[in-house]
């Protein structure tokens, strides 16, 4: 290993620090301030560790945790696109996805080639949401803001005037794909906000 | 699995959210605000993933990542005790360590017994810093604030009027124990702040 390699590793880690300044629509559980995407990524990794028994058989929790640690780094360039913003149309728009691809090129491109390729492959897998590991990771990414909204008294459901139908479509279907019991459990507790 | 089990898992995850409100002495790399212990834990897990090639043979990076995700949760009750505060005497004082043990009892005690015991075992192992996994995790916990100080123009070295000798003793020796090449590399870059 040369010093060049370490310099590239630290260039990536220093750049990653900026994710702590990307703000999300969701607040902390106590409602005191918006959550940032760095601490959100930590919380999700802790979700994976704590709720591993909710994953379908064969899911590799260590890979899920790695995906969740990396999944939001592209927001350093693109920002967080709230799932309920623009009436639900902005989050997975072609424009957003294209910008995220460019961000992934730049940010993972700071790394030595072997790490660039392995991190990028994990991020691509998460984005595609097709493997069992990625599906479970996506479920956790959707369920954590639901818990924050439940704790903070409605949160983004109120901000964006979300209906139960929209919650089922935009959030519930994604949670149910990778962790069906989690969706049953949190939906029951969310119902009171949509009467 | 019963609903009680899920309720306990979510009670722990909701309580963990409070770590995002625990402020550290170290700032973000851009110096804009103090770092919190939640985002710090994410950054450290990313350090482990990115700098895995600096660990001694036999270190299990997945276990290191799990330790780092959990290592600061006790600060929800105890707060962050900066390593250079009280002239270096507060960080590992008997009073601090006792308070952290009580915090670990309470916070991990929110979990179902199997998770309580496995998370607590990881935390105890990290604190003892004797296994290769824990030594590497501790090294990363010490090197990340050094990088933040380098990026932000001195940071806590200036706040606490730290000497090179103190840096070597309080920080360098811990980094060198688990990741000797990292200490050589960052020390060289830190020297300019201690001339």
Q: Do B12 and A49 touch (CB under 8 A)?
A: no
In chain A, residues with a C-beta closer than 8 Å to the C-beta of B62 are: 62, 65
Which residues are A27's β-sheet partners?
A34
| Percent of chain B clearing pLDDT 70 (strictly above) | 99
Q: What is the mean pLDDT of residues B88-116?
A: 94
Beta carbons within 10 angstroms of residue A191's beta carbon: 11
From the list A16, A28, A62, the residue facing B17 with the nearest CB is A28
What is the domain extent for residue A56?
2-194
Q: Do B10 and A151 touch (CB under 8 A)?
A: no
Residue A71 has pLDDT above 60, yes or no: yes
Mean pLDDT of chain B: 95
B147 CA: distance to closest CA in chain A (Å): 8
CA angle at residue A45 from A127 to A78, to 5 degrees?
45
Alpha helices in chain B (DSSP H): 3-16, 37-50, 61-70, 75-78, 94-108, 113-128, 132-152, 156-159, 164-167, 173-178, 180-190
Collect all residues of chain A within an 8 Å Cβ-Cβ radius of residue B133.
none
Note the pLDDT tens digit of each residue in A5-55. 999 999 999 999 999 999 999 999 999 999 999 999 999 999 999 999 999
**Considering CB atoms only, which of B10, B21, B185 is closest to A147?**
B10
* pLDDT for res A1: 52
Dihedral, CA of residue A100, residue A104, residue A107 and residue A109, to nearest 10: -150
Number of domains in chain A: 1
| Average pLDDT value for residue range B37-61 | 98
Number of other residues whose CB lies within 10 A of the CB of residue B109: 12
Helix/strand number for chain A, H first, E second: 11, 2
Are B43 and A17 a contacting pair at CB < 8 A? yes
Check residue A2 and give its pLDDT.
Answer: 64
CA Rg value for chain A: 17
Supply the CATH number for residue A160's domain. 1.10.3210.10
- Residue B50 forms contact with A (CB below 8 Å): yes
B50 to chain A, closest Cα gap in Å: 6
pLDDT digits (tens, 9 = 90+) for B2-41: 689 999 999 999 999 999 999 999 999 999 999 999 999 9
**Is B39 an interface residue toward A (CB < 8 Å)?**
yes
pTM score, two decimals? 0.97
Q: How far apart are the first and last CA of chain A?
A: 60
Residue with tokens 């097709």: A130
A86 backbone φψ class: left, alpha, beta (φ>0; ψ -120 to 50): left
Say how many CB pairs under 8 Å bridge A and B.
122
**Predicted complex ipTM exceeds 0.90:** yes
Q: Is residue B1's pLDDT more than 70?
A: no
Could you tell me which residues come within 8 angstroms of residue B173 by beta carbon, excluding any fewer than 6 positions away?
Answer: none
Residue B86 has what pLDDT?
85
Per-residue model confidence (pLDDT) at position A39 = 98
Q: How confident is the model at residue B2, as a pLDDT?
A: 65
For B72-83, the pLDDT digits (tens) are 999 999 999 988
Picking from A36, A50, A184 by the largest number of B CB atoms within 10 A of its own CB, the best residue to mutate is A50
- Looking at chain B, the whole-number percentage of residues with pLDDT higher than 90 is 91
Q: State residue B40's pLDDT score.
A: 98
The predicted-structure confidence for B110-147, as pLDDT tens digits, reads as follows 999 999 999 999 999 999 999 999 999 999 999 999 99
Kindly state the average pLDDT of the residues A170-176.
Answer: 95
Q: How many CA atoms lie within 13 A of B136 on its CB side?
A: 25
Span A188-193, average pLDDT: 94
Q: What is the pLDDT of residues A125-171, one digit of tens each?
A: 999 999 999 999 999 999 999 999 999 999 999 999 999 999 999 99
Q: List, in sequence order, every residue forming a beta bridge with A23; answer none if it has no partner.
A: A36
Chain B residues lying within 8 Å of A148, measured CB to CB = 17
Q: Which residues of A touch B65 (CB under 8 A)?
A: 45, 62, 65-66, 69
Residues of A in contact with B6 (CB under 8 A): 181-182, 185
A50 touches chain B (CB under 8 A): yes
The answer to whether B69 contacts A148, with C-beta atoms less than 8 Å apart, is no
pLDDT in tens, A83-108: 888 888 888 789 999 999 999 999 99
| Residue B3, pLDDT score | 80
Do B50 and A1 lie within an 8 Å CB cutoff?
no
Using the Cβ of B29 and the Cβ atoms of chain A, whether some distance falls under 8 Å is answered with yes
Does residue B51 have a pLDDT over 60? Answer: yes
Considering only CB atoms, A16 lies closest to which of B3, B21, B46, namely B46
């Amino acid at each position: 290993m040369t010093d060049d390699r370490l310099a590239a590793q630290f260039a990536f880690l220093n750049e990653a620090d900026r994710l702590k300044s990307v703000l999300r629509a969701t607040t902390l559980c106590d409602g005191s301030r918006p959550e940032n995407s760095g601490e959100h990524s930590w919380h999700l990794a802790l979700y994976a560790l704590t709720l591993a028994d909710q994953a379908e058989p064969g899911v590799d929790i260590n890979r899920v945790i790695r995906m969740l640690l990396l999944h939001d780094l592209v927001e350093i360039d693109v920002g967080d696109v709230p799932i309920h913003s623009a009436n639900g149309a902005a989050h997975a728009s072609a424009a957003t996805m294209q910008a995220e691809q460019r961000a992934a090129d730049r940010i993972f491109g700071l790394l030595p080639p072997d790490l660039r390729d392995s991190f990028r492959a994990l991020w691509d897998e998460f984005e595609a949401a097709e493997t069992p590991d990625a599906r479970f990771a996506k479920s956790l990414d959707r369920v954590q803001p639901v818990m924050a909204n439940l704790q903070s008294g409605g949160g983004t459901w109120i901000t964006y005037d979300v209906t139960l139908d929209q919650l089922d479509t935009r959030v519930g279907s994604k949670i149910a794909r990778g962790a069906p019991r989690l969706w049953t459990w949190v939906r029951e507790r969310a119902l009171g906000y949509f009467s």
